Amino acid sequence: MNRITPAPDALIGRRFDVAVAKMLGVSRSKAAELIEDGQAGVLGRSMDKAAVLSEGDIVDFELREEQASEEPVAQEMGIAYEDDDIVVVDKPVGVAAHASVGWTGPTVLGSLIRRGVHITSLGAPGRQGIVSRLDVGTSGLMLVCKSDLAYTQMRRQFSEHEVLKTYHALVQGDLKEDRATIEAPIGRAKVSDFRFTVTAAGKPAVTHWDVLERFGRATLVSVNLETGRTHQIRVHFSSIGHPLAGDPMYGGNPKLAERLGLNRQWLHAMQLEFRHPRTHVWTTVRSTYPADLAQALELMREQSMPYARNEIRQ
């Protein structure tokens, strides 16, 4: 398998053997063997196991056949909208946006290509056509570009925050206000390579939310993002003492998750609004809750019947 991938932000400044181990999901000693054997390196410079990854590094894997495996197809991934320029998928939980070394599950990009969907060649290798992403553990709408025109136009719209992205999230506790904005910078947490936190040294992040339904022990909210930082919704709600239900990484109560049958954070990308790259017509694509989140929400309603109020808005 020959694959190149930008060095993940979470691994910048780490030893190369540590980074390779985390990217491939192997032991540090196995990573060191791969580096020494020339199966893992960085384009444009010599790297031994003790070298440190720098920002902008492109990691080059040339794994022998026994290390490679064929990516499965996300057969259950639905198409919410498609034309000659774009395709909007309804991504299930457990599907990554694109391939990365160490991920062996299905991806949005790989599944589309193997289904015969033409994708533009524009974009980083292995990430072509992708202008925004969803976490593996987050379900919902994700837009991929089929034409060169769409990639250029939609990349600009996303970077200039012209695309309206609406999420629904079930957060723990009873939010005091019916609507508010969280404005707090987000950066990598020092305690973990894969966690993020509110920190003065982070990048600006703005999250707007409106209450949809209250349950006393939890609140269903509609969320709009001005920025698209990694784990932004999860980090911001955790920072105000209301972590997402089913999200132990950021403080979710495991007992509540168990009662609701949740195996992941209750978070779904519900709606995308954007100007079509070719026609310039304002376009809205909507999703519905997947089965696991719908079931958890019904359980939440049943368990909170004495408290529950009517929905505030739809």
Residues labelled as active-site residues: 135
Cα 34–Cα 37–Cα 40 angle in degrees, nearest 5? 45
Burial label, 75 (beta-carbon count in 10 A; 0-12, 13-18, 19+): exposed
110-116: Cβ within 8 A, 24+ apart? 110/71, 110/73, 111/73, 111/74, 111/75, 111/77, 112/87, 112/144, 114/71, 114/73, 115/73
| Token output for 94 | 């457990």
- Using CA atoms, how far apart are residues 175 and 87, in angstroms rounded to an integer? 36
Q: Residue written as tokens 């020494």?
A: 36
